[in-house]
Amino acid sequence: MKVEGDNFIFSSGRTRDANCGIIGLSPGLEVSEGYDGGFYSGIDGESWRDEAERLTDQDLVELADYMIEQWIKFRELHT
């Protein structure tokens, strides 16, 4: 996965924008972006969305790996 500004480009070719590059994860494992948007992951019960918008498991693993790397960098700044 590549991140270019606010644009997340997955190996699958799917792209998603995250306002200000912000990605969040709720206690219910819902993936949010920006201030009030979300990435449809299929695990958060948002069946009302177009299935073509759903990120694949591979996409979600790439996103998780990216966020883990970000949190490791954050931790290293404070240790």
* CA dihedral of residues 6, 57, 32, 73 (deg, nearest 10): -60
pLDDT band at 49 (very low <50, low <70, confident <90, very high): low
For residue 66, pLDDT over 80 is answered with yes
pLDDT in tens, 8-20: 999 999 999 999 9
pLDDT band at 46 (very low <50, low <70, confident <90, very high): low
C-alpha span between 54 and 65 (Å, rounded):
18
In this prediction the pTM is 0.84
